[in-house]
Structure 1
């Protein structure tokens, strides 16, 4: 009797793709995980329990049909598995690489809760789409019928690209306006290559361009073109700018030379990998080589910074976070990767002051966790007299991002924002206070995950199509 294709989690142990040794992977910016072999991907997919209530699917922002494409993978029906994966996710190979699966699908896996080790969902997802590219199953968009309506998308990050893909497949004419010279947003310039190699992003952008999406690079809305002009040119607008304004540090000496923003640092590093001329890197201002580096923050951006610094040849890298390991917002998998690579984490530690200009030391205040607040999260409190100085030649601020003041920058007082400065938009549709204007991703949610931006882009695209259909019906009357 042939073995059952599924429910093999008792006899087959969980396995991840092989990972390059730390001493090798820190010498370059290549991805650290290898690809699954076909037999291994099928075997790992076969561990799925096919449970009646798929919590992996429920806890995925895109509600990907994970159990079904795992079953198809286990049976070797890879093209069908890929097509099912692509049906709900515009960029499965990107999510497979950078989604925090340990906090989402894999963290909710039933067999993980039963102690058998989660199905390696992300690695299988990555394998499926990489196989689809290799086999030529992915082609430029070719709408069955063209539509005359035109939609502008401001921002070529994951939310904007996802909306563009969905709109173009429906035949809508799409133009993306982006401030950078390459599309992809933070996927291109914020996330390092060891997590997401850049050709993975750029080939998706090329696919959109080949399918008829017009991309206007180096275009700052409000400077190179007004928001009003964009509205006049197009039948609807999707705002997908993301949030790029860095939260700042307080305390004495916080303005000293040698204290830099995480996004500036990561963008410079990624541009160097592209072969761009980056003067700030060449003179050392945004280069960690030979330096004692201190990164402040506990999110995924902080993890990107510490792991970039070690690859640039920093003499030491330490990460200060004011809470403990359990309460940090970043991926635990990324923390483990960073520790393997030699990064030291100073938990329950916060900067109190910065000494020297250029900076030479960070005065560190030790913390403890106090009484939980209304959400159940414990707030950090200072421990009186518990201070020390940490040597530092380069301090990187990775404290998160805030929205820019778009109503002022774009001279659009009617564009309503929340008390946090994010655009006020209708849940699921992205409709804003301005007629025919929608907003998606971080500019609505605040700094969040790529997968949520993709979800918002897809939902807003559907809402835009409804809006265009209604406008067409009214015009026909």
Structure 2
């Protein structure tokens, strides 16, 4: 019976895929987890309790049918497991690698709450889809019939690509515009290879191209092509640009050479993995080799920066964060990986300024303590007077998060409504903006968030666009 293959969490313990030794992984940008063997994947999947109320599924932004594909994996029915996984998630092999499962599905697993250790959902998801690629089960989403309507998508990140896939499968003509020379957005240039190897992303891009999606790269909207021109070319438009404007530190000395933005730093490192020649790396501007590196911030981007600096051969790497470990926004799993690789975390520390004049030589650090909760409900950091000190630094990376660009001004569309935070104002169900036929999805609407949320938004926006196209066609026919 199938049920005999499940409910093994009492006799089988939680087991993650083997992690490469820290001394080895410091030397390259390869992914740090080894592959699950078929037997181990089946064993870990069999630990699922098949509970009646699957909190793993309800806490997944995509509401992936996790219990069913775990059961199918335990039974060795991997192609069926992949089909169920793919039904709700456009890029399961990517989410299996980079989703913070400890905060989402795995963190809400029933057997984790009962003390038996969570089912390693993310690792099994990655195993299922990697197997599907190896076996040739992943095929381009070519439509059964072609439609005349076209949709322009601005932004080739996860939200835009998820929408492109869904629209193309429905037969719509899709063109994706992006400012970079390669599609993928932060999947390509923001997330380091040790978390997400770039061929994993590129093969999805190739599949979308094979399915008939057109890509217009090196296209900065508002400069190379106006927003009005894009609207004129298409029956509907989706804005999925993400948020790329870094929050900069406003403190004495912040304009010194050697103080750089996180995204600039990560983009250069990722370009090297493609074999690109990058002047800023060659001249040392965005190269940590031999330097005392200080990264300021406590999110996942900061974790990407500190671990990149280690691999570039930094003399030392320290991460300053103004709250404590329990209150940091980044994944605890990533913090552990960084510590194993040699990163030093300095908790309850914030920059007051920078020393060195035109070239940075150090960070003036003020020590903090946690006071009463602020508006977000988290304890607010307070300065401890008289506890300042100087942290020597040759390279300082600002990783304080991202903000939206002022798209109405950049694109010359003042009628495009935005929120007080600068994000695009869109209906939270339909993703429709203030402009007819224009939709928005992902970080440009919700602010800097997770890839899995961008995928969900892109899929939902695509469905709304399909409804809009049908209504428009109906109105034209009625005339």
Q: TM-score range with shorter-chain normalisation?
A: over 0.9
Q: Is the 8 A contact 2:360 2:395 kept in 1?
A: yes
Q: Deviations over 1:383-439 (max 9, x none)?
A: 011111111000000000000000011110110000000000000221000000000
Q: Deviations over 1:101-121 (max 9, x none)?
A: 000000000110111100000
Tell me by how many angstroms 1:372 deviates.
Answer: 1.4
| Aligned match of 2:255 | 255
| Aligned match of 2:41 | 41
Q: Does 1:436 align with 2:437?
A: yes
Tell me by how many angstroms 1:210 deviates.
Answer: 0.3
| Aligned match of 2:106 | 106
Q: Deviations over 1:303-349 (max 9, x none)?
A: 00000000000000000000000000000000000000000000000
| Aligned match of 2:12 | 12
Cα distance in 2 for residues equivalent to 1:260 and 1:374: 30
Cα distance in 2 for residues equivalent to 1:155 and 1:373: 34
Give the alignment of 1:14-29 within 5 angstroms. Answer: 14-29=14-29
Cα distance in 1 for residues equivalent to 2:159 and 2:2: 44
| Aligned match of 2:344 | 344
Cα distance in 1 for residues equivalent to 2:52 and 2:387: 52
Q: Is the 8 A contact 2:2 2:75 kept in 1?
A: no
- TM-score for the superposition, normalised by structure 2: 0.99
| Aligned match of 2:470 | 469
Cα distance in 2 for residues equivalent to 1:144 and 1:3: 37
Q: Which runs of 4+ in 1 moved over 4 A?
A: none
Q: Deviations over 1:53-79 (max 9, x none)?
A: 100000000000000100010000000
Cα distance in 2 for residues equivalent to 1:187 and 1:365: 34
Cα distance in 2 for residues equivalent to 1:182 and 1:451: 21
Q: Is the 8 A contact 1:295 1:302 kept in 2?
A: yes
Tell me by how many angstroms 1:83 deviates.
Answer: 0.3
Find the residue that maps to 2:9 and give its secondary structure: coil
Cα distance in 1 for residues equivalent to 2:306 and 2:188: 18
| Aligned match of 1:378 | 379
Find the residue that maps to 1:174 and give its secondary structure: strand
| Aligned match of 2:274 | 274
Tell me by how many angstroms 1:3 deviates.
Answer: 8.5
| Aligned match of 2:410 | 409
Cα distance in 1 for residues equivalent to 2:150 and 2:342: 51
| Aligned match of 1:178 | 178
Give the alignment of 1:100-139 within 5 angstroms. Answer: 100-139=100-139
Cα distance in 2 for residues equivalent to 1:2 and 1:451: 31
Q: Structure 1: which 5+ runs fail to align?
A: none
| Aligned match of 2:195 | 195
Q: Is the 8 A contact 1:20 1:32 kept in 2?
A: yes
| Aligned match of 1:81 | 81
Cα distance in 2 for residues equivalent to 1:240 and 1:231: 14
| Aligned match of 2:323 | 323
Q: Is the 8 A contact 2:431 2:441 kept in 1?
A: yes
Q: Does 1:304 align with 2:304?
A: yes
Q: Is the 8 A contact 1:298 1:328 kept in 2?
A: yes
Cα distance in 2 for residues equivalent to 1:195 and 1:222: 33
Cα distance in 1 for residues equivalent to 2:64 and 2:362: 47
Q: Is the 8 A contact 1:268 1:278 kept in 2?
A: yes
Find the residue that maps to 1:141 and give its secondary structure: coil
| Aligned match of 1:369 | 370
Q: Deviations over 1:222-262 (max 9, x none)?
A: 11111001111100000000000000102111111100000
Tell me by how many angstroms 1:374 deviates.
Answer: 4.3
Q: Is the 8 A contact 2:72 2:80 kept in 1?
A: yes
Cα RMSD after superposing both structures:
0.9
Q: Is the 8 A contact 2:298 2:330 kept in 1?
A: yes
Tell me by how many angstroms 1:376 deviates.
Answer: 2.5
Tell me by how many angstroms 1:373 deviates.
Answer: 2.6
Q: Does 1:391 align with 2:392?
A: yes
Cα distance in 2 for residues equivalent to 1:256 and 1:233: 44
Is the deviation greater in 257-266 or in 367-376?
367-376
| Aligned match of 2:451 | 450
Find the residue that maps to 1:460 and give its secondary structure: helix
Cα distance in 1 for residues equivalent to 2:46 and 2:95: 21
Find the residue that maps to 1:286 and give its secondary structure: coil
Q: Is the 8 A contact 2:306 2:319 kept in 1?
A: yes
Find the residue that maps to 2:385 and give its secondary structure: strand
Q: Is the 8 A contact 1:428 1:456 kept in 2?
A: no
Q: Does 1:149 align with 2:158?
A: no
Cα distance in 1 for residues equivalent to 2:74 and 2:169: 30
- TM-score for the superposition, normalised by structure 1: 0.99
Find the residue that maps to 2:345 and give its secondary structure: strand
Q: Does 1:235 align with 2:235?
A: yes
Cα distance in 1 for residues equivalent to 2:463 and 2:3: 43
